[in-house]
Amino acid sequence: MNSPDNNPERKAETFNAYVGRSRAEHDVVTASQAQAMAALLDRDPAEFRVGVALPEYWHWIYFKPIVPQSNLGIDGHPRRGTFLPPIELPRRMWAGGRLRFLQPIGIDDEIERTTEILSVKEKDGRSGKLVVLKLRHLISNASGPCVDEQQDLVYCEIPKPDQTSRQPTLPPDDIDWQETFTPNAVILFRFSALTFNGHRIHYDYPYVTQVEGYRGLVVHGPLTALLLLEAAKRHATPAPISYEYRAIGPLFNDEPITLAGRTKTDATESEIWAVGPTGAVAMQGRVGWKI
């Protein structure tokens, strides 16, 4: 990682130079990878064979970040300053996303993902400086675009011990359904392996507690988003056509997560929440349904 640059104008100029950059990656939707995801979710792996449509949002287990070990940073992520800008702040968080599902991706499809950096903005947050990085991913197969996704990443300083906590967001009382999911270290490890995610906050207890200051192993943001969408689909008949979600706070290993939702009376949209053991919302989102 490059040395810090505290000149705001020079830093903004550096960040702006990355806006508009794009790259294309290619992959094949292998049945074995989909079957591994199914096993993680306790679904029957035999259902996922050539010719079957890949469930919505499962495209995140493809396009693995194949980066040489020597190019990884101390946190286990690829070093910044190559495709992504050289953001020096130590904490990296998956803050949210917005997706449109345009057409199915089939198992055994050859797929392409084009990624564009939409914006890089430095802001002042409760814990100090933060940088919000917005990306757009367009995933296509031979028939054309399949998923149009925008992703928000936030980089920030490590909170000070005496920093006051934010007011918790609580879910509404009038939910239609709820389920409970309790992550454990094996689930977090397997999801990291499926996505080739080296971020140490998900498996390295000394690092996550002593360096980044969390109280335990952190549940992956995309895993929480996936669990929420999977739960919503179990309580709805139509197929999802859109999905947006926003992370509000972390969830931790061995602590139960309540997945809850309610659907509009016209059945076109559901609101969903992932709630931690204290009752505070850790992620909230909306799913649009095909009617």
145 shares its domain with 232: no
Range of the domain at 201: 165-291
Arithmetic mean of pLDDT, 142-154: 97
145 shares its domain with 177: no
270 neighbors 263 (Cβ within 8 angstroms): yes
Arithmetic mean of pLDDT, 61-90: 90
Domain boundary among 105, 129, 164: 164
Q: Is the pLDDT of residue 100 over 90?
A: yes
Model pTM score: 0.92
At 159, the pLDDT band (50, 70, 90 cuts) reads confident
Q: For residues 186 and 182, what is the distance between their CA atoms, to the nearest angstrom?
A: 11
Arithmetic mean of pLDDT, 191-205: 96
Burial degree of 119 (CB within 10 A; 0-12, 13-18, 19+): middle
At 1, the pLDDT band (50, 70, 90 cuts) reads very low
Q: Is the pLDDT of residue 260 over 50?
A: yes
| 10 vs 261, higher pLDDT | 261
180 shares its domain with 75: no
Tell how far CA 13 is from the center of its chain.
Answer: 28
Arithmetic mean of pLDDT, 213-219: 96
Q: Is the pLDDT of residue 7 over 70?
A: no
Arithmetic mean of pLDDT, 250-257: 98
53 shares its domain with 181: no
Q: Is the pLDDT of residue 3 over 90?
A: no
Domain boundary among 164, 191, 213: 164
Residue 284: CB atoms within 10 Å: 20
CATH number where 280 lies: 3.10.129.10
Q: For residues 209 and 201, what is the distance between their CA atoms, to the nearest angstrom?
A: 8
- Residue 165 DSSP code: P
18 shares its domain with 139: yes
4 shares its domain with 97: yes
Q: Is the pLDDT of residue 4 over 60?
A: no
3-class DSSP string for 108-128: CCEEEEEEEEEEEEEEEECCE
Q: For residues 281 and 275, what is the distance between their CA atoms, to the nearest angstrom?
A: 4
15 shares its domain with 92: yes
> 20-34, 113-127, 129-143, 174-188: which has the minimum mean pLDDT?
113-127
63 shares its domain with 3: yes
For the chain, how many structural domains are there in total?
Answer: 2
Domain boundary among 147, 164, 181: 164
245 shares its domain with 160: no
Q: For residues 261 and 238, what is the distance between their CA atoms, to the nearest angstrom?
A: 15
At 160, the pLDDT band (50, 70, 90 cuts) reads confident
E strand or H helix at 231 = helix 221-234
Angle at which helices 31-40 and 185-195 pack, to 10 degrees? 160
173 shares its domain with 32: no
Tell how far CA 26 is from the center of its chain.
Answer: 20
Angle at which helices 185-195 and 221-234 pack, to 10 degrees? 100
Q: Which two tokens stand for residue 63?
A: 């396009």
